[in-house]
């Protein structure tokens, strides 16, 4: 179960790593679109767009349905929620660390610095 979840998360982050695929997801967040509509803003071939869509499908972010000769894509945002949960853990981790750092820095700022040790003569 954990391995399957990790693999799914890997696919999601891989899909999100490309700016073209992120833009396609943004377009799909408004409403479903055909492969041609998804490819149009990028002036790419349908074959190139289809490769990007396959990556999004593998991640579970897009569902493609064939209607006649048209392939229609629809957003599935559930994997994004799982990725956000993963990121939230680290957000809490870093927030706690930064809060501790701030506390230490504020504590040190209110305490006068100690003088450097005096250099004595060696005998």
Q: Which domains does the chain have, with CATH numbers?
A: 2-78 (1.10.10.10)
Digit-coded pLDDT (tens) for 13-28: 999 999 999 999 999 9
**What is the rounded CA–CA span in Å between residue 40 and residue 46?**
9
Contacts of 46 by beta carbon, 8 Å cutoff, 6+ apart: 35, 36, 39
Phi and psi torsions of 75, nearest 5°: -75, 140
Listed in sequence order, the residues at least 6 apart from 94 whose beta carbon sits closer than 8 Å to its beta carbon are: none
Q: Tell me the pLDDT of the chain (123 aa) as tens digits.
A: 455 567 889 999 999 999 999 999 999 999 999 999 999 999 889 999 999 999 999 999 999 999 999 999 999 999 999 899 888 888 888 888 888 888 888 886 555 566 666 766 555
CA distance 83 to 9: 6
Q: What's the CA gap between 40 and 85, in Å, rounded?
A: 32
pLDDT of residue 58: 95
| Residue 54, both tokens | 């396959």
Tokens of 102: 């701030």
- According to DSSP, the residues that pair with 33 across neighbouring strands are 73
Q: pTM to 2 decimals?
A: 0.70
**What pLDDT, on the 0 to 100 scale, is given for residue 1?**
45
- 48-61 residue pLDDT tens: 999 999 999 999 99
């Amino acid at each position: 179960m954990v391995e399957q979840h990790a693999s799914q998360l890997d696919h999601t982050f891989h899909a999100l790593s490309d700016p073209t695929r992120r833009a396609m997801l943004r377009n799909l967040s408004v409403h479903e679109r055909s492969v041609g509509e998804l490819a149009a803003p990028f002036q790419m071939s349908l074959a190139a767009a289809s490769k990007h869509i396959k990556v999004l499908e593998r991640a579970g972010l897009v569902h493609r349905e064939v209607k006649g000769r048209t392939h229609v894509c629809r957003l599935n945002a559930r994997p994004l929620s799982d990725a956000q949960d993963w990121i939230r853990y680290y957000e809490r981790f870093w927030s706690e660390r930064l809060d501790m750092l701030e506390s230490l820095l504020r504590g040190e700022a209110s305490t006068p610095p100690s003088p450097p040790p005096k250099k004595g003569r060696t005998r």
